[in-house]
Structures are given as structure tokens and as C-alpha cells.
Amino acid sequence: MPLGPDDVRLTDRIALVTGAAAGIGAAIALGYARFGADLALCDRNAEALAETAERVRASGRRVRTSVLDVRDGEAALRFAAELGDAWGRVDVLVNNAGGGFAAPFLDVSARGQEALIHENFTSVTHFVRAVVPWLPEGSGAIINLTSIEAHRAGPGYAIYSAMKAAVENLTKSLALELGGRGIRVNCIAPDVIPTPGTGSFEVRTPLARAGHVDDVAGAAIFLASDLSRFVTGTTLHVDGGNAAAGGWRRRADGSFEA
């Protein structure tokens, strides 16, 4: 069937976005709203989450929110059930929440490792289990945010990098397991996207500029829309060409740079 302008729109679809208070998550939520979707948003930051929700409402779309920790599987189940009871379904799940901290692997405690695993991997499994029962067969979409670090070494971020790679691999497996139900599962792997949590950094991309959170939102809109109706089990890199460039380089002081 030929594609048309309406196929990029998300009119009246319901999207759940985790980590939606700021940065990439907020940009995806607002982008979805501009393209016609209603939003379910969650985050630990109640104040910033409320601000994102108000901006969604200002665009004329419905929004529901929950202040929760994505590492809490019971909280994920409750939020999904609340949405199911209120709206009857969820069309798109965006697993955006995650984070890390810089430290050599040997300096990361068992407790720190556990926190990184739960925030970046277990949270994804929690929300997939919670939301899949509410995804419509034949049109549901799951989008997992990973990182360029899922595709290269991560010195100083070894556990974070490993968990992002785990999410990328999980995405492939879920694409196969859920494909028979017509549910598509894909990843977005950003890099060089300034957000409140990244701080300042030197821009080194083949495009010679940094990206923007709206660049990631554009990829998320594509993967949620009918433009990507035959795309599943893949990763869309939003990194200015850094995955193509590849490679870490050792500095004179022994640390690493990309």
C-alpha cells in the first residue's frame, strides 16, 4: 500500500514514555503530542514531569502521569493497568529512562553495579512485561533507547555500556517473539545529544556539530508511525555519524576518548 503524509501522523495513538520529565524523554513526549498522540508519562522528578505534562496539554492532547521509579516492577504494572482501565490500550511504549556514572569498573561496588543494571536493563523488562498485554496486535510498537556505547567499548562506563548492549540484544529477541502478534520492537542509539545530565563535552562527529533532543524525537516518531510498518529488530543510530566513524583513542595520561 502506498505511503502518504497521514502515515507519519500519530493521531489518537496512546504512547507511554518513561523518563519523560526532561531531556530526550520530554522531547519524545512533546514530539508525539505535536503529531497527534495522547501521552502517558512517568519519572521520579515530580516537578519536571508536571511541566512536561502541562506542555502536552497545551498542545491539545490528553496526558496521564505517574511519579515512580522505573526499577520498581510493581509500579510499572500498576501504571500500565491504570492506563488500560482508563484508555483501554497502549499503542507505543518508549523505554527511555536510564543513566549512569563515570568510574573505572574496579571502583564500582556491587551495590553500584546493581543500580546500573536495574536502571538501564531491568527497568526495560519491567515495562515490556507490564505494557505488552495492552498493546494492540498488528500495530503495537516498542522503542528502546540504548546508546552508541551499546556498540563499542565503554571505558569508565563498563556496566552501563554492557546494559545498553543487553537492551539492544533483548530488542532483537523481542522482535522475533512478538512479531507474530504484529508488534514491532526497535532501538534508538543516540550520541552527542546535550541533555541536562550530560554536561559539557567536545563535539566530534562527522557532521561537525552536536545533535539535539528533537533529533532523537524525530527517530522515535518514525519508529512509532506507519512509515516504519515493516521495520523491527533494528537499531537506528542518531549520532552524527559516530557509529560509522568508530573507535576509542588513548590519551597520553592513559584515559580514553572517542
**Strand-pair partners of 92:** 15, 141
Query: Which contacts of 98-102 are long-range, i.e. CB under 8 A and separated by 24 or more positions?
Result: 98/19, 98/123, 98/145, 98/163, 98/164, 99/197, 100/157, 100/159, 100/160, 101/160, 102/156, 102/157
Residue of 56, 160, 163, 237 with catalytic role: 160
Helix (H, G, I), strand (E, B) or coil at 42: strand
160 is catalytic: yes
> In the chain, which ranges are continuous DSSP H helix?
23-34, 46-58, 73-87, 110-117, 123-131, 158-179, 213-224, 242-245
How far is it, in rounded angstroms, from Cα 30 to Cα 191? Answer: 20
Cα distance between residue 22 and residue 52, in whole Å: 7
Q: What residues are labeled active site? A: 160
